[in-house]
A and B are shown apart, each in its own frame.
Chain A
């Protein structure tokens, strides 16, 4: 097995001792024979070099942050508009009811929309990365384009094209901004 041959090249700090029966409760006194590498094991060395999220994790992460961000932003906007709509002579119960209603409505609406945007974006980005096997700025730009287009597809071709262009520009700006931020902000 490959693990046996490569164990001679690993230093002791990089290996973990592997006991073949470690997951079973059998009374076998086998020794820790194998030294396996501690990084995740891949069959091909090119696979192990890629530091990308799997498509499932990508999907859930973008959708989750989109939904959470949209909900929180919408809820805050809703609270503000609820406070603005107070009328003279409102009891406390009525005030709380107004705030809950408006923040709940705005939070739900915006959370749903941004969540759908995140879902579509993550799906297209994972698809493009899987097909072209690259993961650079252009993947994000194409994903932004596709997201904008799909999101406004129901309103017509022209609206979809405009939204797609906006989405592509926004995605490219975010990726470029992130790289600039990492380079100049020492984080």
Chain B
């Protein structure tokens, strides 16, 4: 049965904003759970809850931010590729992964950036590999 395409799935600024929010939410909420458990287990008895919340306050926004930067860059490059190539492909995501990995390590120099780009591309190729195989 045909389902109307939601506005947040069409390439454009709305989709980029939604993907940033999605990535930030995953990073912040997942990071909160992880750091709360780590904080409570690392605190002395009687101050466990306070220790857990302190760890969450210190770490969760930072984690959310890094996930959001990654997701935002990825989504922006993905939408740009869709716009340029005028078709929706797994290749867009692979190139977007490589570009994100490279861009985020650009300050470490060209060698580190190319290595990160290759890792990002390989990671996305592994994720989108089945889609590529099925479509061929």
Known: A16-B2, A64-B18. A154 touches B24 (CB 8 A): no
Within the assembled complex, what's the spacing in Å between the Cα atoms of A64 and B29? 14
Interface stretch of the complex, out of B61-69, B93-101, B119-127, B128-136: B61-69
Tell me if A6 is interfacial: C-beta within 8 Å of chain B: no
Known: A111-B68, A116-B61. A68 touches B28 (CB 8 A): no
Tell me if A135 is interfacial: C-beta within 8 Å of chain B: no
Tell me if A63 is interfacial: C-beta within 8 Å of chain B: yes
Tell me if A95 is interfacial: C-beta within 8 Å of chain B: no
In the complex, chain B residues 8-26 whose Cβ is within 8 Å of any chain A Cβ: 8, 16-22, 24-25
A-B pairs with beta carbons under 8 A, tally: 81
Q: Number of B residues whose C-beta is below 8 Å from A?
A: 28
Within the assembled complex, what's the spacing in Å between the Cα atoms of A59 and B21? 7
Residue among A16, A18, A40, A67 making CB contact with B68, cutoff 8 Å: A67
Chain B residues with CB under 8 Å of A66's CB are: 21
Q: Is the CB of B65 within 8 A of A67?
A: yes
Within the assembled complex, what's the spacing in Å between the Cα atoms of A113 and B42? 25
Within the assembled complex, what's the spacing in Å between the Cα atoms of A13 and B57? 55
Tell me if A118 is interfacial: C-beta within 8 Å of chain B: yes
Chain B residues with CB under 8 Å of A23's CB are: 1
Q: Is the CB of B20 within 8 A of A68?
A: yes
Tell me if A61 is interfacial: C-beta within 8 Å of chain B: yes
Within the assembled complex, what's the spacing in Å between the Cα atoms of A108 and B27? 14
Q: Is the CB of B18 within 8 A of A115?
A: no
Contact with B along A54-78 (1 / 0, CB 8 A): 0001011111111110000000000
| Minimum Cβ distance to chain B for residue A48 (Å) | 13
Chain A residues with CB under 8 Å of B107's CB are: 100
Q: Is the CB of A60 within 8 A of B4?
A: no
Q: How large is the interface on A (under 10, 10 to 19, 20 to 34, 35 or more residues)?
A: 20 to 34
Q: Is the CB of A64 within 8 A of B2?
A: no
Q: Whose C-beta in chain A lies nearest to the C-beta of B20?
A: A64
Tell me if B105 is interfacial: C-beta within 8 Å of chain A: no
In the complex, chain B residues 71-91 whose Cβ is within 8 Å of any chain A Cβ: 72
Residue among B2, B19, B20, B64 making CB contact with A112, cutoff 8 Å: B64
| Minimum Cβ distance to chain B for residue A109 (Å) | 9
Q: Is the CB of B61 within 8 A of A154?
A: no
Q: Is the CB of A61 within 8 A of B17?
A: yes
In the complex, chain A residues 60-113 whose Cβ is within 8 Å of any chain B Cβ: 60-68, 100, 108, 111-113
Tell me if A149 is interfacial: C-beta within 8 Å of chain B: no
Within the assembled complex, what's the spacing in Å between the Cα atoms of A16 and B65? 44
Within the assembled complex, what's the spacing in Å between the Cα atoms of A152 and B57? 11
In the complex, chain A residues 31-67 whose Cβ is within 8 Å of any chain B Cβ: 40, 57, 59-67
Please list 15 pairs of residues, one from A and one from B, whose beta carbons are closer than 8 Å in the complex, sorted by A's number. A40-B3, A57-B18, A60-B17, A60-B25, A64-B18, A64-B22, A67-B24, A108-B65, A111-B65, A112-B64, A115-B64, A115-B65, A115-B68, A116-B28, A116-B61
**Beyond the given A60-B25, A61-B8, A61-B17, could you list 7 further A-B residue pairs with CB under 8 A, ordered by the A residue number?**
A18-B1, A64-B19, A67-B24, A108-B62, A112-B64, A115-B64, A119-B25
